[in-house]
Amino acid sequence: MLNYIEEVYKKVKIEEGKKAIENILITLYLKEGISTKELARNNLLPIPVVAAIKKEFIKKGLVIQDRGTRLTIDGRQFVEDSLGFKNINSDLYMRLLMDPWKEYGEIIEIKEELQEIFDNRPQADVTIDQSKSSIDTSLKRAILSLKNHNLVGKRILCLGDDDLVSVALCFLLKKLFNNTVHHKTKITIMDIDKRIIDYINNIAIKEALPIKCEYVDFRMPLATNFRNQFDCFYTDPPYTLEGMNLFLSRGIEALKGGSGLTIYFSYAHKSPDFQLAMQKCFSSMGLIVSEVMARFNIYEGASIIGNTGQMIVLKTSNITKALIKTPYMGALYTGELKETIRSYRCNQCGVITKVGRSEKTNNIETLKLKGCYKCNCQVFKLIHRKNEFVKQRMSIEEE
């Protein structure tokens, strides 16, 4: 089938990119008989731009002006077959578009189906800045991709996925396609944690999910076969400027290119000075901040960031580029820049154990699993915490 999106883009060459043209067709598929004015408002585009796009689609026989703007039979076939919307539950899709955070019955059902999967996740490895998000958070992230038409028929990348966003995406897709697996969408996970890779692989096999897991160390440049492949990506990187820049750079290299592509960037709430430094990095990469949602992410046991984090939706432009393209050998994780040594007292025998990156026990989760070396008790109380700067954080200019 012809790539009508590409052909229309060559004619109109809008700055918003090919994604904006595709979204016009999706809107027409979901809202039959919509006016040009409403079509423009729905897609945040000027009316003359939408009129020009519509004109090109009419020429190609995909759109007709009849009691509003409608898709022809060929237009509907293109959206269903090429964009992946065939047999979709349009009613649920529209309800989620109109009110994405409402607790619909279908959303409650997905949470119930995910409960056991999330409960059995591997323990968070704080040495690589992992902290588990709640089911609500991971599912909200998935719904966010639907809200931006980045879910159905897309190639989606998760840069690290201890939060199981990939699984939430697939369960949302199954609900949208009446509990059938939607293989038009492809989801790839890149992670350095083999426990996460093995766990998600097993779920994907059991549930027949369209997920592929890859072991990748982001300190090294992406392999050629991973570049320019994806429509959007999710990342919840280490909460350092170095980690942020590295993960975003690798993700940008993985995107298909062009303007209007979406990055779902989860991050801790930071001070104004730190956020200014973040925005300078975004600008250096040619990224636009499209939306900032405070307290969007809820984490289990991440008390150091108040158990919450923000969701920053970034968009690419025609000048988007990776800030880091070569191998990266500097400090990356929080513990490499500022080490925290915690002292825990055993509730049973009183023995004190130090926990930290440079200690025999790296984190409290490991200590609880192993138990007290003297009495095997698995209950401990934090009695002291000390922060030590390990390495000087490099400036933005040095990066």
CATH (domain of 249): 3.40.50.150
Distance (Å, whole) CA 327 – CA 207: 36
Whether residue 221 lies inside any domain: the answer is yes
| 297 and 346 together in one domain | no
For residues 213 and 191, is the Cβ–Cβ distance under 8 A? yes
The rounded distance, in Å, linking the Cα atoms of 157 and 199 is: 17
Number of domains composing the chain: 3
Based on the fold, state whether residues 238 and 300 are members of the same structural domain. yes
Tens-digit pLDDT string for the chain (399 aa): 468 999 999 999 898 899 999 999 999 999 999 999 999 999 999 999 999 999 999 999 999 998 899 999 999 999 999 999 999 999 999 999 999 999 999 999 999 999 999 999 998 877 777 788 899 999 999 999 999 999 999 999 999 999 999 999 999 999 999 888 767 899 999 999 999 999 999 999 999 999 999 999 999 999 999 999 999 999 999 888 999 999 999 999 999 988 999 999 999 999 999 999 999 999 999 999 999 999 999 987 544 545 889 999 999 999 999 999 999 988 787 766 666 778 999 999 999 998 876 678 877 777 888 899 889 999 999 888 775 544 433 333 333
Asked whether residue 52 falls in the same domain as residue 188, the answer is no
Residue 112 sits in the same domain as residue 235: yes
C-beta atoms surrounding 369 within 10 Å: 11
214 shares a domain with 170: yes
97 and 81 assigned to the same domain: no
The pair of three-digit structure tokens given for residue 394, joined into one six-digit string = 């490099």
Boundary-marking domain end, from 85, 115, 146: 85
Which CA distances in Å does 161 have to 130, 158, 224, 280, 366?
9, 6, 22, 26, 20
Domain check: are 298 and 283 in the same one? yes
Residue 56 exposure: Cα atoms within 13 Å on the Cβ side: 20
Whole-number pLDDT of residue 392: 39
Q: What is the pLDDT of residue 389?
A: 47
Choosing from 56, 85, 114, the residue where a domain stops is 85
What is the residue type of 34? I
Look at residue 112 and tell me if it is in a domain.
yes
CA 108/CA 106 separation, integer angstroms? 5
Q: Are residues 114 and 154 in the same domain?
A: yes
Does 267 reside within a domain? yes
Query: Which residues, at least 6 apart from 382, have a Cβ–Cβ distance to it below 8 Å?
Result: 342, 343, 344, 364
Six-digit token pair at 181? 């697996």
Asked whether residue 399 is assigned to any structural domain, the reply reads no
Place of tokens 């697939």: 170
3-class SS string, the chain: CCCHHHHHHHHHCCCCCHHHHHHHHHHHHHCCCECHHHHHHHCCCCHHHHHHHHHHHHHCCCEEECCCEEECHHHHHHHHHCCCCCCCCHHHHHHHHHCCCCCCHHHHHHHHHHHHHHHCCCCCCHHHCCCCECHHHHHHHHHHHHHCCCCCCCEEEEECCCCCHHHHHHHHHHHHCCCCCCCCCEEEEEECCHHHHHHHHHHHHHHCCCEEEEECCCCCCCCHHHCCCECEEEECCCCCHHHHHHHHHHHHHHECCCCCCEEEEEECCCCHHHHHHHHHHHHHCCEEEEEEEEEEEEECCCHHHCCEEEEEEEEECCCCCCCCCCCCCCCCCHHHHEEEEEEEEECCCCCEEEECCCCCECCHHHHHHHCCCCCCCCCEEEEEEEEEECCCCCCCCCC
CATH number of residue 41's parent domain: 1.10.10.10
Distance between CA atoms of 221 and 190, rounded to whole angstroms?
Answer: 13
Q: Does residue 19 lie in a domain region?
A: yes
Return d(Cα 11, Cα 104) in angstroms, integer: 41
Measured CA distances, 26 to 9, 62, 92 (Å): 16, 12, 15
How much is the pTM?
0.84
In a domain, residue 146? The reply is yes
The reply to whether 148 falls in a domain is: yes
Both tokens of 1, joined, read 């089938």
Question: Do residues 241 and 153 share a domain?
Answer: yes
Residues 371 and 283 in one domain: no
Q: What is residue 338's predicted lDDT score, i.e. its pLDDT?
A: 66
Q: Hey, what are 54's tokens? A: 């519509």
| Domain stops at, among 69, 85, 101 | 85
Q: How far apart are CA 285 and CA 261, in angstroms?
A: 14
Closest among 287, 353, 288, 270 to 321, alpha carbons compared: 287
Query: 79 and 113 share a domain?
Result: no
What are the structure tokens assigned to 130, written together? 């992992």
In a domain, 44, yes or no: yes
Distances (CA, A) of 95 to 92, 152, 268, 291: 5, 16, 30, 21
Domain of 312?
A: 91-316
In contact, 125 and 155? CB cutoff 8 Å: no
Half-sphere exposure of residue 119: CA atoms within 13 angstroms, side-chain side? 6
Same domain flag for 197 and 183: yes
